[in-house]
Amino acid sequence: MSTRVEVYASLDSEREYQEQCAVRAGTVPGTVRPHSVEEFALYMEDYLHELRHQLSRNWTPDRKPTTQMLDTLRKVTALGVACMEQHGAPHRCRD
């Protein structure tokens, strides 16, 4: 188990990695055309599909996720964070 602080630190590290990849690909920080919400949804769906393959092909009797599975889940979640960075992150209303 991880604390929420540890989870958010992991997501921050993934976002930093994603941004470094963009720079290595020749993107100047702050000049990237934002991806649409639809594009982010497709990227996330693609990685979720990969995660489903990992889950179905690496089943263990104790049902513990592998590091590879958790890495993919971190990537999917960080893509959602990147989407909210570009398009807004409204807070949940309390009813």
pLDDT-derived band at 80 (thresholds 50, 70, 90) equals very high
CA distance 70 to 64: 10
Instruction: Give φ, ψ of 64 to 5 degrees.
Output: -80, 135
What pTM value is reported for the model?
A: 0.86
pLDDT of residue 16: 94
Which ranges constitute the DSSP H helices of the chain? 4-24, 37-57, 67-87
In angstroms, the Cα distances linking 28 to 18, 50, 72, 79 are 13, 29, 26, 19
Angle between helices 67-87 and 37-57 (to 10 degrees): 170
Q: Give the tens place of pLDDT for each residue, 17-67.
A: 998 888 787 776 666 677 899 999 999 999 999 999 999 888 777 888 899
CA distance 77 to 9: 12
Q: How many Cβ atoms from other residues are within 10 Å of residue 82's Cβ?
A: 20
pLDDT-derived band at 71 (thresholds 50, 70, 90) equals very high
